[in-house]
Structure 1
Amino acid sequence: MISEALEQFKKEGFYIARNLLQNDEVITVRNSIHKSFNDQLAHLGFPENGNDLFNSMLLLYNKDIDRYKRLIGALWRKLEIYNLMHHNNIVGLLREQFGWQDIFMPGGQVAVIMAEELKIPNGYFGFVPHQDFPSVQGSLDGVVVWLPLVDVGRDNYPLEIIPRSHYEGVLPAIENNSSTWETDTSQYTEDDYLPVEVNVGDVVFMTLFTIHRSSQRGTAGQLRIALSTRFDNANEATFIDRCYPTAYIRTIQREQYFKGFPSREQVAKIFPK
């Protein structure tokens, strides 16, 4: 018998698991991110840390935007973020509610940040309408997991979904100069988008074919920070037939990022004789 969660997921293209995670588990991850920003501020000799995550992010953004961008690009590699996105309750829902018995991980985690004051000049500010399958290419019933680290309402840059858009499969893309695979949504209207209002502890499960985007509707002085990752069902027939492909490519940077680093003296400080 199909579960209510899987039934809604298949019918609507998404499912929201309310209170799937404990608040303190999510807040611990948010505090870990806050620590990384405060560590950078301390490294730069800033006289004080931000009293909350948004304030610390804003301080680093204004002090050294290049260092800010490097840090937000590194967040996905934090162990606390990895552990949260692979939480037993998330994996357990896939196994118990969706019936998955064997799981592949197609790629890493993503930290998505939205705030009026933290816009990157000529850079990212939310995702345009898109589907995730072209950037995953795994199992046809693969899942996008998205969860907020702060409460997200209609006026705090919510995730916006077009329910039942997954029935169309992969839709044509719009050609542009961006690296983002933007879906042609000409058959839809603005009224078709559903703002996803969620609180800390809620987790959104989407199909890889569900059209979604980042809302541009936000209030100054507010931070929306969320995490996402993807899962593939290893028992899906075409995934087995294609021998478990993924669009993600694993590479290694062989050239040293910082010439002459580390020196023998720097290593000796870590490993004194």
Structure 2
Amino acid sequence: MKERLKEFKENGYLILDNFFSKQDIEVVLKDAKKVFLRQFIKMQYVSESLLEDLSEEQFNNFLYRLFDEDLECLANCGKQSQHLISLHSLSLNAKIVELLIEMGLKAPTISTRPVLYFNHPKLSKKKVFHKVDAHQDWRSMQGSLNSVVIWIPLIDINKELGALEILPKSHVNGLRTNHIENGFGMVLLNEDEQENLISVELNAGDALIFSSFLIHQSGDNITNKPRWSCHFRYNDLEDPSFIERKFAHPYIYKPIDELITKDFPTISDILKIYK
């Protein structure tokens, strides 16, 4: 344990092979895909009777089709996938809590809700929505100085699929964000730093934990498949600087004022549920 902590503090990250069972990861991935499958059926891309025979390639093609034909629907599916019980359960897994304490977080707390990604150029109108250049997560977290991120692949992710690229030991150089882009604290790298980036290829079941100050970026996904992953962020309530800053919290969650679906629900809609 002491060796792992030493390695983490020195390099700013730690790769954890086979941290989860593949079954635990598969549950989250299947639940996420089911969100989209329900809309594929509604859009008549596929009938429910043929779902069991649906190939990965067919699923991906339907995903890209939904992006082209109904971006609002795809975006809402993406939003619902962030609220899966299996995803949130994974973020609270006892192994994660033990790891956080091992990495020096005396009183681990959730920084923000879990995030699930399905990245591909065919699923984004802006580059930042499928590939984020060099950035630091602390700028958006603004939490404890020892805050960490746990990045988890939901499928095997190699360099061709856009594996995460990290700059080892960059965490000790502090906050280097020079501007914000879509919520990401962007960092301008020099030529040497660009050359020292390393690609972290991970398999489903592996995990990567890193300091929120570690500079990292997305790799290029040059395949025809989305890169499915999730990441969790944690603060330490015992960090003196966090206490001194009154537990600063930059995230804002609130409902919109408008009724999204006009004239819904009616009394008859309600009675279909309760009578």
TM-score by length of 2: 0.89
Q: 1:215 to 1:81 in 2, by over 3 A?
A: same
Unaligned runs of 5+ in 1: none
Unmatched 5+ stretches in structure 2 = none
Cα separation, 2, equivalents of 1:60 and 1:81: 20
Amino acid at match of 2:137: D
Q: Answer yes or no: is 1:190 the counterpart of 2:189.
A: no
The correspondence for 2:147, drawn from 120, 124, 142, is 142
Shift of residue 6 of structure 1? 1.7
Structure-to-structure mapping, 1:155-234, within 5 angstroms: 155-174=160-179, 179-186=183-190, 188-216=192-220, 218-234=221-237
Task: Provide the secondary structure at the position in 2 that maps to 1:109.
Answer: strand
- CA distance in 2 between partners of 1:227 and 1:37 (Å): 17
SS of aligned partner of 2:176: coil
Does residue 129 (structure 1) correspond to residue 134 (structure 2)? The answer is yes
Q: Displacement, 1:65?
A: 3.8
- Residue in structure 2 matched with residue 120 of structure 1 by the alignment: 124
Equivalent residue for 1:84? 90
Structure 1 stretch 203-212 or stretch 67-76: which is displaced more? 67-76
Change (3 A) 1:197 1:125: same
Structure 1 segments (4+ residues) deviating >4 Å: none
Q: Is the 8 A contact 1:34 1:53 kept in 2?
A: no
Give how far 1:260 is off: 1.4
Distance 1:134 1:58, change over 3 A: same
Name the SS of the counterpart of 2:246 in structure 1.
coil
Identity between Structure 1 and Structure 2 (%): 24
The corresponding residue for 1:11 is 10
RMSD: 2.0
Work out whether residues 174 and 181 of structure 1, in 8 Å CA contact, stay in contact via their aligned partners in 2.
yes
Superposition deviation, residue 230 in structure 1: 0.3
Higher fraction of helix: 2
Contact 1:37 1:57 in 2 (8 A): no
Shift in Å, 1:255: 2.4
Equivalent of 1:271, from 257, 270, 274? 274
Secondary structure of the structure 1 residue equivalent to 2:165: strand
Deviation for aligned residue 1:54:
5.7
CA contact (8 A) 2:20 2:206 kept: yes
- What letter corresponds to residue 197 of structure 2 in structure 1? Y
CA contact (8 A) 2:105 2:235 kept: no
What are the Cα deviations for residues 143-174 of structure 1, in whole angstroms up to 9, with x where unaligned? 11100000111221000000001111001414
Match of 1:246 in 2: 249
Offset, 1:262: 1.1
Distance 1:122 1:138 in 2: 28
Question: In the alignment, is the contact (CA less than 8 A) between 1:174 and 1:184 conserved in 2?
Answer: no
State the match for 1:108 in structure 2: 113
| Residue of structure 1 in register with 2:61 after alignment | 58
Residue 181 of structure 1 and its aligned partner are, at CA, apart by 2.6
Q: Which amino acid aligns with 2:213?
A: F
Amino acid at match of 2:35: S
TM normalised by structure 1 equals: 0.90
2:67 is the alignment partner of 1:68: no
Distance of 1:239 and 1:224 partners within structure 2: 34
| One-letter amino acid of the counterpart of residue 249, structure 2 | T
